[in-house]
Amino acid sequence: MIWVETIVNGLLLGGLYALVGLGLGFAFGVMRIVNVAQGDFIVAAAFLGVFLLPWTPVHPLLVIVPVAVLAFGLGMLLQWLLINRVLGHDQIPQILLTFGLAIVLRNGMVELFGANTRSINVGDLRFMGFDFVGLKLGVLPALILAIALFLFATLHLWLRKSNMGRLIRATADDYRIVQLSGVDFRSIYAVAMGLAMALSAVAGILLAMRGSFTPYSGADRLLIAFEVVVIGGLGSFWGMFLGGMVLGVTQLVALKLDPASGLMYGHIVFILILIMAPNGLAGAFRR
């Protein structure tokens, strides 16, 4: 029963990991941009949540709303002012630009907030648990998984049913055709980056509620995001969710077996999948 409980808790953690990778995977799927500042954007959202928390009514969870809205606007602004200028077949300028943004963000966070460890206080919610068919599970991890499922499903339906969602999908396929129809593809890219940043902000807030962070936590967040996207398969929407599940279960099972270096096994699984299934698990299943 202990192992079943560990696996289920790994799935709950996987929901959070999937959400961490969603913003990165969505931006890459639409614009083919490799955003190495993703982890630092996630941490910046967490710091913004800490800053706005005293003015958040009712419950700390609601701080997600203003942070996501601000992140959406910032994402659109960055896309218009900077990222649109480096989009193209060569990804080196994109990597250099986002790497520069990561450095600026990291140093800015140290200057504004200091280097101390922070977290978002959700009160007793962090420690509340419940029994489910004999398993002891946390309320907060279960709530995070529910939020992740809701966001994945909502984004999936929005991309398929709404006019803007169809335009984003068409732009991802071939932006030149969209441009020929009279639509400015740069505006579509701006909306897509805004969404990617908003999703990353939600992940950052939830990570800060479940654990702690510093201005230097961006590299860890970026690694999780890349592993989730690559394990699931680049460009595969629900593959990213599967990638998060695999990474979460692997880490918790490995920590149970080897508490000293259990987290390392998640990276080993990532490398093995990259070698045996370069297109990710979703690509392997399609074959």
**Partners of 136 in beta bridges:** 131
Decide if 21 contacts 230 (C-beta within 8 A): no
Contact between 91 and 178 (Cβ < 8 Å): no
pLDDT of residue 183: 87
Q: Are 29 and 196 in contact (CB under 8 A)?
A: no
Give the predicted TM-score (pTM) of the model: 0.93
Distance of CA 196 to the CA centre of its chain: 8
> What's the confidence (pLDDT) of residue 284?
53
Q: What's the confidence (pLDDT) of residue 200?
A: 96
**Cβ-Cβ contacts under 8 Å for 19 (sequence gap 6 or more):** 144, 147, 148, 151, 199, 202, 203, 206, 244
Other residues' Cβ atoms within 10 Å of the Cβ of residue 56: 17
Instruction: Report the C-alpha gap between 183 and 132 in whole angstroms.
Output: 51
What single letter denotes the amino acid at residue 121? N
Q: How far from chain centre, in Å, is Cα 157?
A: 19
Q: Are 132 and 7 in contact (CB under 8 A)?
A: no
Per-residue pLDDT of the chain (287 residues; tens, 9 = 90+): 688 888 999 999 999 999 999 999 999 989 888 899 999 999 999 999 999 998 888 788 899 999 999 999 999 999 999 999 888 767 889 999 999 999 999 999 999 999 899 999 888 888 888 888 788 889 999 999 999 999 999 999 999 999 999 999 999 888 888 888 888 899 999 999 999 999 999 999 999 999 899 999 999 999 999 999 999 887 778 889 999 999 999 999 998 888 877 678 888 989 998 888 888 887 655 54
Can you give the three-state secondary structure of 195-213, one letter per residue? HHHHHHHHHHHHHHHHCCE
pLDDT of residue 283: 60
Q: Contact at 8 Å (CB) between 175 and 185?
A: yes
* CATH (residue range 2-286): 1.10.3470
**What is each CA distance from 278 to 25, 58, 98, 144, 214, in whole angstroms?**
16, 46, 25, 29, 33
Model pLDDT, residue 128: 87
Q: What residue has token string 């995977």?
A: 25
In sequence order, the 6+-apart residues with CB closer than 8 A to the CB of 111 are none
The DSSP element (H or E) to which 170 belongs, if any, is: helix 163-173
Question: Are the CB atoms for 77 and 189 separated by under 8 Å?
Answer: no
* 92 to 33, 87, 95, 106, 174: CA distances (angstroms): 10, 10, 5, 21, 21
